Structure 1
Amino acid sequence: MPESLFQPEDKYMTMLPEAKLYIDGVIRRASGDKTYDNTGPWTGEVVGKAADASREDVDAAIAAARRAFDRTNWSTSHAMRFELMKKYRDLLYANRQKLVDISRYEAGAAIGAAARAQVDGALFGMDGLLECFPLVKWEEDRGIRRDYGFDTARIVTHEAVGVVGAITPWNVPLYVNIGKVVAALLAGCTVVLKPAPDTPLMGTYMGELAAEAGLPPGVLNVVTSADPAMAGEMLVTDPRVDLISFTGSTAVGRRVMEKGAATLKRVFLELGGKSANIILDDAPNFAQTVMGGMVVFHAGQGCAYPTRLLVPKSRYEEAVKALEMGYAGFASKWGEIDEPTCIMGPVISRRQMDRVMSYIEIGKQEGARLLAGGKVRTDKGGGFFVEPTCFVDVRNDMRIAREEIFGPVLVVIPYEDDEDAIRIANDSEYGLGGAIFSGDKERAIRMAKRIRTGSISVNGGVSITGDLPFGGYKSSGIGREWGREGIEEFLETKAIGIRA
């Protein structure tokens, strides 16, 4: 087994390595050696320290990325980039166990979630991006056209945008970091990565491996800060930064667009979601399929997670009984840090725990029926544990059905027929993900094409992978990540006309 990042004294208490800055090819501490505490979600205690970047540190990172783009051949040497990124990928795989350790103790991922979406999903996603790289067209011959009495040969070229500011969240940090950083680097851009304050080490460890892989100085820079806004606002407003790729809440995404407008920056946003999981009346293994809609994986902290379960009124009571049984059976299967099959741990922070609990209270006040959960579980330890929670008898106009909770909370909404299910699914400001289950595949596909979301699963099919584009409609964002489309988002298009 690959070397572990640390050897904890016990299964809960350990110390992660210090998260340092990576600027212009140098792994270093912040100016004045300033740090902040990295708090572990399992215990609520400090599990490490992270460099607390100053404005001067962020400025140095932007300057390094600008120099690397303007003064080196990084953007034009496609074959060189490709080989270095494959070497980088191999190093990430070689250090998989360390990445799992970080995701467990820093992001609060249970082992089952850490090994799947947190790490393996990210590494497989990088494989997908590398597979898509040869599909990118850097130059196209558009032929000869006669205008104004003479012939012109036309070429369309695609070239890197420039310096990218990548601002990433805490829920699946390695996955989102790779989706932005690797795609931008493959496109020939240089990057300043600003991880969320809650998960600094995952980003800075990526910087350490980039140095080991031999990425040229300034091509990738990583800055961490206790201040959730300072570094991000510097990236968004600095004219030396050409593009911002942001993943986070819709409210902050709107602020990023507003602040970026002054410099006419290109902005890509992957924002919130309130995705619908539609179980049709003819779904095989109906009860089991309904139970599969429980929101428990990684404590529901996923933007595309289907947190609205739509079930037919004709089988509503059957669905509610299945969920009651499912939640009762899951009651003892979560919140265990050393259990390999466990897929649900704590939420990321006390602030997030309080947010989730406030929505649970809102659900009660709105008149939804609490079928399961609804409590903070202090018996699990000093961390941020919220029970798997399910509300039934929910209307789609309730706040718990309309607003992103980002916790282990499922709302169950009955519908009349297929048209009503489509109407409810689309009656949302969001449009990121979703799912449909039916015994009639063609029926499900017809419905899927009418759901206004960027990706949707039919009968359990995987619609979010490294070689497919991912992004949202409406308030769920602008642009696409992953796949060939995700790489091409970091390219400019230039038309060249040559008089024949």
Structure 2
Amino acid sequence: MGSQRHGGPEPGASAGEAGGARLLIGGRLVAGERTYPSVNPATGEILGHAPDATVAQAGAAVDAARRAFDTTAWPADAALRVRCLEQLYRVLVEHKEELREVTIADTGAPRIVTHGAGLDEPLEIVRYYADLLRGRSFTEDLGEIESRGRRHRRWVEQEAAGVVAAITAYNYPNQLALAKLAPALAAGCTVVLKGAPDTPLVTLALAGLIAEHTDIPPGVVNVLTSAGAAVGKALTTHPGVDVVTFTGSTATGRQIMAAASETVKRVFLELGGKSAMIVLADADFDMIAMMAAFTICSHAGQGCAITSRLLVPRGHHDAIVERVAAQLAGVPYGDPAKPETYMGPLISERQRDKVDAMVRRAVEAGAKLVTGGEKVDPGFFYTPTLLSGVDPDSEIAQEEVFGPVLAVIPYDDEDDAVRIANNSAYGLSGAVHGADEERAVAVARRIRTGTLSINGGSYFAPDVPFGGFKQSGIGREMGAAGLEEFLERKAFATVVT
């Protein structure tokens, strides 16, 4: 056991939070016909049980969302939507500490993570869309034209796209749910939100707050959890669903695209990443080592935008590797509930086995295991891992690991660095570091990804669109672009008399 690891959580901590967890369908909190266990990844013990929704319940949720969209004022009443979003924001803030404890226990996210992207920052997404909606016009005047001897006035209106099936991943359940829910509601859509199987209790806590503490009309928001894939498939193929928004693996995203094509649904996908951090020769190597080490260990590397490839000048490879290894040795990991813990566990034994197998294959393929590569029990911990001299075409450099594993890849010159960074099926994020900012920006512009951090710049905020190129997805979340994903355009013309 590493010297930086702290003791495990108290047995049974937060387990009682799950006792009354229920689905939200048509404005009512309902029990599932069956349940399944949610495991605390820091201990490997059962935290609580979540309803395992059936395909029939998924259909009932879609029907409720369809009725709310087709027969109520929700899609047309922007003032009501603003009021409900503001109310939801207040309720989330009021219950933030309860949500924090559930999030830590259910996801294994360290407390420090919940003060950022794990919880606190995502709450601001709701307020952002309430403010954006308040001042937004959904009509564009195109003016008049002369056609066939008559004057014609034209305009375009935007309206809600319809019923949305929102399917989220396990790593940041608050962020992912609210980044889909808030803009969809602001647009006037109704939603069926399906939480990730591994972290159902966080999503169900959100359902309880919506049902019991807001005036969001019945059927506008429905929340499901399930252990298997049948419910997700039912949502993506249901003729009553107009839009599917999904965050998760690229492999599952492909399946969703195929399933949704049968009814030609609009599909928004936020998928995997294999992002590169390019270190230019004039960068501060000590600062880079710290940033690279703590970035790859953030939430145990379980982030799609984490820079998991470190591209360094060939002549400085060994010196940078030595610095990064020293930083990784000091990363505090262990009980995620403790404020001093920086890195928690992986989500499951299955995920840890996958990460470990990829590290073993990387070494067999010629990479050097500098540090880490060890399982730590109890729970699903994996030590911060550094691989050096990695072949840019190897599996560990091409496939998403979703664990605390950093691959160091040497490059010859800037053109080579750009080529290696773009040598990926993904294009979600990336970073460039160099003392000459103009040069760093020029390199960043050549990287084909949806977001870029230059010298540590932070792009993550409610007003910044997030999404990727290539197989990292389709569309954008957050920002004004995130609202557009849930709107349809309708053109009108009248004869001027």
User: Normalized against structure 2, the TM-score is what?
Assistant: 0.95
Contact kept in structure 2, 1:23 and 1:221, CA below 8 Å: yes
Q: CA deviation at 1:475?
A: 0.3
Deviations for 1:344-386, whole angstroms, at most 9, x for unmatched residues?
11000111111111111111111100011001012xx2x1011
- Specify every segment of 5 or more residues in structure 1 that has no aligned partner in the other structure, as ranges: 1-7
1:494 aligns with 2:490: yes
The change in CA–CA distance for 1:243 and 1:9 in structure 2 (over 3 A counts) is: closer
Q: CA deviation at 1:70?
A: 0.1
Deviations for 1:30-77, whole angstroms, at most 9, x for unmatched residues?
1x3x11111110111111010111122111100000000000010111
The match for 1:217 is 218
AA aligned to 1:78 is A
The match for 1:107 is 107
The match for 1:22 is 24
SS in structure 2 opposite 1:346? coil
**d(CA) in 1 for partners of 2:98 and 2:417?**
44
**d(CA) in 2 for partners of 1:276 and 1:217?**
45
Percent of aligned pairs with the same residue? 44
Contact kept in structure 2, 1:422 and 1:450, CA below 8 Å: yes
The match for 1:180 is 180
1:400 aligns with 2:396: yes
**d(CA) in 1 for partners of 2:243 and 2:422?**
30
Contact kept in structure 1, 2:180 and 2:477, CA below 8 Å: yes
**d(CA) in 2 for partners of 1:67 and 1:360?**
50
AA aligned to 1:20 is R
1:310 aligns with 2:311: yes
AA aligned to 1:181 is L
The match for 1:377 is 376
Q: CA deviation at 1:169?
A: 0.5
Contact kept in structure 2, 1:11 and 1:338, CA below 8 Å: no
The match for 1:368 is 367
Q: CA deviation at 1:12?
A: 6.0
**d(CA) in 1 for partners of 2:12 and 2:292?**
30
SS in structure 2 opposite 1:155? strand
Q: CA deviation at 1:465?
A: 1.4
Deviations for 1:408-446, whole angstroms, at most 9, x for unmatched residues?
100001111211111111110000011111111111111
**d(CA) in 2 for partners of 1:447 and 1:91?**
44
Deviations for 1:440-490, whole angstroms, at most 9, x for unmatched residues?
111111111111000111111111211111111000000111011001110
Q: CA deviation at 1:132?
A: 3.1
Q: CA deviation at 1:17?
A: 2.0
Contact kept in structure 2, 1:12 and 1:43, CA below 8 Å: no
AA aligned to 1:186 is A
Alignment of 1:446-485 (within 5 A): 446-485=442-481
Contact kept in structure 1, 2:82 and 2:134, CA below 8 Å: no
SS in structure 1 opposite 2:355? helix
Deviations for 1:279-321, whole angstroms, at most 9, x for unmatched residues?
11111x3222223112101000000111001111232222011
**d(CA) in 2 for partners of 1:158 and 1:308?**
41
Contact kept in structure 1, 2:368 and 2:388, CA below 8 Å: yes
Contact kept in structure 1, 2:86 and 2:126, CA below 8 Å: no
Alignment of 1:336-347 (within 5 A): 336-347=335-346
AA aligned to 1:308 is R
The match for 2:3 is none
Choose 352-361 or 14-23, whichever is displaced more.
Answer: 14-23
The change in CA–CA distance for 1:9 and 1:399 in structure 2 (over 3 A counts) is: closer
Contact kept in structure 1, 2:9 and 2:337, CA below 8 Å: no
AA aligned to 1:187 is A
The match for 1:357 is 356
The match for 2:329 is 328
AA aligned to 1:483 is G
Contact kept in structure 1, 2:42 and 2:335, CA below 8 Å: no
1:291 aligns with 2:293: no
The match for 1:4 is none
Contact kept in structure 2, 1:65 and 1:163, CA below 8 Å: yes
Deviations for 1:134-175, whole angstroms, at most 9, x for unmatched residues?
464300110001122211100100000000000000000000
AA aligned to 2:205 is Y
CA RMSD after TM alignment: 1.4
Contact kept in structure 1, 2:14 and 2:101, CA below 8 Å: no
The match for 1:198 is 198
Contact kept in structure 1, 2:427 and 2:450, CA below 8 Å: yes
AA aligned to 2:477 is E
Choose 335-344 or 50-59, whichever is displaced more.
Answer: 335-344
Contact kept in structure 1, 2:336 and 2:343, CA below 8 Å: no
Contact kept in structure 2, 1:136 and 1:484, CA below 8 Å: no
SS in structure 1 opposite 2:354? helix
AA aligned to 1:171 is N
Equivalent pairs, count: 484
The change in CA–CA distance for 1:445 and 1:11 in structure 2 (over 3 A counts) is: farther
Deviations for 1:321-344, whole angstroms, at most 9, x for unmatched residues?
1012112222xx111334213221
**d(CA) in 1 for partners of 2:324 and 2:464?**
32
Contact kept in structure 2, 1:160 and 1:188, CA below 8 Å: yes
Q: CA deviation at 1:11?
A: 6.1
The change in CA–CA distance for 1:135 and 1:438 in structure 2 (over 3 A counts) is: farther
Contact kept in structure 2, 1:434 and 1:455, CA below 8 Å: yes
Choose 70-79 or 115-124, whichever is displaced more.
Answer: 115-124
The match for 1:442 is 438
AA aligned to 1:42 is A
AA aligned to 2:344 is G
Q: CA deviation at 1:111?
A: 1.2
**d(CA) in 2 for partners of 1:338 and 1:194?**
26
Contact kept in structure 1, 2:125 and 2:182, CA below 8 Å: no
AA aligned to 2:427 is G
The change in CA–CA distance for 1:120 and 1:9 in structure 2 (over 3 A counts) is: closer
Alignment of 1:51-66 (within 5 A): 51-66=51-66
Contact kept in structure 2, 1:69 and 1:75, CA below 8 Å: yes
SS in structure 2 opposite 1:371? strand
Contact kept in structure 2, 1:74 and 1:188, CA below 8 Å: yes
Contact kept in structure 2, 1:141 and 1:155, CA below 8 Å: yes
**d(CA) in 2 for partners of 1:353 and 1:275?**
21
- Specify every segment of 5 or more residues in structure 2 that has no aligned partner in the other structure, as ranges: 1-7
User: Normalized against structure 1, the TM-score is what?
Assistant: 0.94
2:407 maps to which of 406, 411, 419: 411
